Structures are given as C-alpha cells and as structure tokens.
Amino acid sequence: MLIMTMCFMLSLFIPALVYYLSVMLYMRVEKNRNKMTPFECGFDPNMQARIPFSTRFFLLAVIFIVFDIEIVLLMPLPIIISHEILMPHLKIFCLILMILLIGLIHELYEGALDWLK
C-alpha cells in the first residue's frame, strides 16, 4: 500500500513540477512580438492570412500526381516481362496506358494544361 501511495504522489508531483518550471521559464523569456510570430521563409508575416489560390495550379498538380503514380505502377513492367511471359499483366498495363492517354488528350483539348489563360 505504501508503494502505491508513493507512486501516486510521484505521478502528481512530477507533472506539477514540470508545469511549474515551464511557467517560470516562460515568464523569464522576453516577450518580443517578432519572436512570437511563426517564421516562414520568404513570406511577410504581416500579410493577409488568406491569399487567392490558383485552381489551374491545383488541377495541374493533380494531373502530375496521377501521372507520377502511373510511372510507379509501370516501373515493374520490364522485370515482369524479363522473368515470365504474362499476357494478362501486359493487357492490364496496356489498358492503364490507354485510359491515361485518353485522359491526357481530353485534358489537352479542354485546355487544362495551358498555364497562361
């Protein structure tokens, strides 16, 4: 019972001590307004918080991610071909390429890839 009481007292004392020390150290720190602002390189901290976001940039970023994932999915293709002749896998890879090619052509005709408009 004594050990449980000691553990309970320590579990209350240690967090209280840490809290007290953090409050004491915080009060010693000089409160400078510039030091209290978050730092982000290249941005003025006194700017407006919300700036307009380019939807064209967002669409281009999504298209980039889709084609990046496509490359990751197609990277094992030479290894699969060199080890085994698997026609179903080749058909699936060709289907994926055709779908992405049709999507790319559609995006080109829609003008989604034109940055300056």
The phi and psi torsions of 52 (rounded to 5 degrees) equal -65, 140
> Within a domain: residue 18?
no
> Within a domain: residue 12?
no
Domain hosting residue 68, numbered range: 55-110
pLDDT of residue 35: 64
Pair 111, 56: CB distance under 8 Å: no
49 to 21, 34, 38, 44, 53: CA distances (angstroms): 34, 17, 12, 10, 12
Q: How many domains does the chain have?
A: 1
SS3 annotation, 49-100: CCCCCCHHHHHHHHHHHHHHHHHHHHCCHHHHHHHCCCHHHHHHHHHHHHHH
> Within a domain: residue 32?
no
> Within a domain: residue 1?
no
pLDDT of residue 30: 58
Averages of pLDDT over each 10 residues, the chain, 117 residues: 85 90 73 63 63 76 86 79 71 84 87 73
pLDDT of residue 102: 92
Structure token pair of residue 48: 């407006």
pTM score, two decimals?
0.46
